[in-house]
Structures are given as C-alpha cells and as structure tokens.
Amino acid sequence: MNNEQPKIPQATAKRLPLYYRFLKNLHASGKQRVSSAELSEAVKVDSATIRRDFSYFGALGKKGYGYNVNYLLSFFRKTLDQDETTEVALFGVGNLGTAFLNYNFSKNNNTKIVMAFDVDPDKVGTEVGGVPVYHLDELEEKLGGITVAILTVPAQVAQPITDRLVQKGIKGILNFTPARLHVPEHIRVHHIDLAVELQSLVYFLKHYGNE
Ligand code: ATP
C-alpha cells in the first residue's frame, strides 16, 4: 500500500480488486465514465456502498455524469500496487501446488510465484510452470526478501514450515492446508480450506437455496 494515501477501511479495501477488474474491462472497451448504478449491477455491491467506498478515494461522482474511469483506474493501480509485482514463494508442489504454479496469477494480477519448495527428490531441481523447485532445506538460503508464501503442503508439516518462514520475516501466508497456523500477531494468515468452502456452499444451497 502507498503510505501517502489515507487509510481505507478493511471492508472497502477488500472490494478494491473487484472494482479494479471491472473498471479495467470498461476501460479496455473504451468507456470514459461509469455510474454507481452500472457499477453496482456489475460487481453486485449496492450503490450506496459504492458511493461511500469511492468517497474514500476522493472520487466524488457527479450527478448525471458518474465517475471518471481513468481517474479511478489510476487510483486503484496505485493503491493495489499494480505497478509493482509482489514475489511469492510456494511450498508443496503436489496437485494443488502444481496447478497454482501453472496458473501463476500473472494475467490480471500483481503477484507472481517466483520459487517453490518441496522435499520429493523427483520434484526438487525441476521447473514447474517455469518456476524453479528447491529443496525445503534451501528455504533460508533461497527465500531472500520474499514476504508472501502459499502453503499447499500436507497439513502436518504446515506449522514447522510456517515457523521457519516467520524466522525469515514473512509477512503474509495463504494457507491452503487444513492446519490452523500459529503466528505472531503482526503476520497475516489467510486460510482457504477448499473442502470446508465447498461443504459450506453445498450446505447453503440445501438450506437456503430456494429462497
Ligand atoms: P501428489 O499427488 O503430488 O502427492 P498431493 O497434493 O496429493 O500431490 P500432498 O501429500 O498433499 O500431495 O503433498 C503436497 C506436496 O507437498 C507434495 O509434492 C509433497 O512432496 C510435498 N511435501 C510433503 N512434505 C513436505 C515438506 N515438509 N516440505 C515441502 N513440501 C512437502
């Protein structure tokens, strides 16, 4: 985040990538301005929330004009650090890890997985999706200043790897393992348990699907 900018509430910050993606498409199709009603329809956020969110960015839509797409885009680019790429390390080149390495978020994002770690001798020393796979023993040596890690290892090894990452100064961890990670307060962990997410979706469909 750019330090010169005012602090944006977390709930607003979470919606930024959503707005950004939509505005990029608008811009690509040659549109210069957009109303909060159009935005609301496209990103499924009510227009009062959008107006409040945008007021934090100093974007005050004009009645009958809407918002200037270029202004918003340049704001989002700065705020989301789209001009800077954040390097990411991935741990565990199994089925899920391999899929991430091949996908590599590069098309519409500002993050890039630049190295991966595993312990399987068949995987160490190879490249997957153009990303080198190192042995876990090389973590301290190779990680450098990387601040974000993705964990796609078996659950039982997630905590010991996390402890080493914390030692190395990691700032954020995207945890795809079912393990609950213990980290110091200043480190951010986002936990995505795909099995739980899928189960909860199915649960909601069953119980609230017909409303
Ligand atoms: P696969 O079919 O390749 O085994 P998987 O996703 O079903 O994939 P998992 O058992 O979940 O397999 O392991 C994911 C990956 O994590 C594997 O590539 C495995 O070699 C690797 N792995 C296991 N232990 C560690 C560890 N301590 N550090 C890093 N990677 C590890």
Contact 100, 176 (CB under 8 A): no
Bridging pattern class, strands 67-68 and 33-34: antiparallel
Split into its structural domains, the chain has a count of 2
pLDDT of res. 82: 63
* pLDDT score of 1: 41
**φ and ψ of 8, to 5 deg:** -105, 135
- pTM for the whole thing? 0.72
Q: Is there a domain that residue 206 lies in?
A: no
Question: Residue 116 C-alpha to ligand 1 middle, in angstroms?
Answer: 12
The rounded distance, in Å, linking the Cα atoms of 120 and 93 is: 9
Residue 168: give the domain boundaries. Answer: 86-196
Q: State the pLDDT at residue 121.
A: 98
For the chain, which ranges sit under pLDDT 50?
A: 1-4
Give yes or no for residue 154 CB within 6 A of ligand 1: yes
State which of 126, 153, 177 you would mutate to test the pocket of ligand 1, scoring each by most atoms of that ligand within 8 A of its C-beta. Answer: 153
Hunting for tokens 């905590």 — which residue is that?
A: 159
Identify the CATH number of the domain in which residue 107 sits.
3.40.50.720
pLDDT at 180: 96
Whether 142 and 124 have beta carbons less than 8 Å apart is answered as no
Q: Compute the half-sphere exposure of residue 133: CA atoms within 13 Å on the CB side of its CA.
A: 20
Over the stretch 6-34, which tens digit does the pLDDT of each residue have? 577 888 888 888 898 899 999 999 999 89
Distance 159 CA to ligand 1 centre (A): 14
Closest C-alpha residue for ligand 1 atom 21 = 92
* CB of 111 closer than 8 Å to CB of 89: no
Same-domain pairing of 110 and 173: yes
211 falls within a domain:
no
CB distance 118 to 144 below 8 Å: no
Question: 9 and 57: one domain?
Answer: yes
| 8 Å CB contact between 193 and 208 | no
pLDDT at residue 44, as a whole number:
92
Please give the pLDDT value at position 7. 72
Ligand 1 near 101 CB (within 6 A): no
Q: Where do we find the tokens 């962990």?
A: 189
Which residues are within 8 A (CB) of 137 and not within 5 positions of it... i.e. 6 or more apart? Answer: none
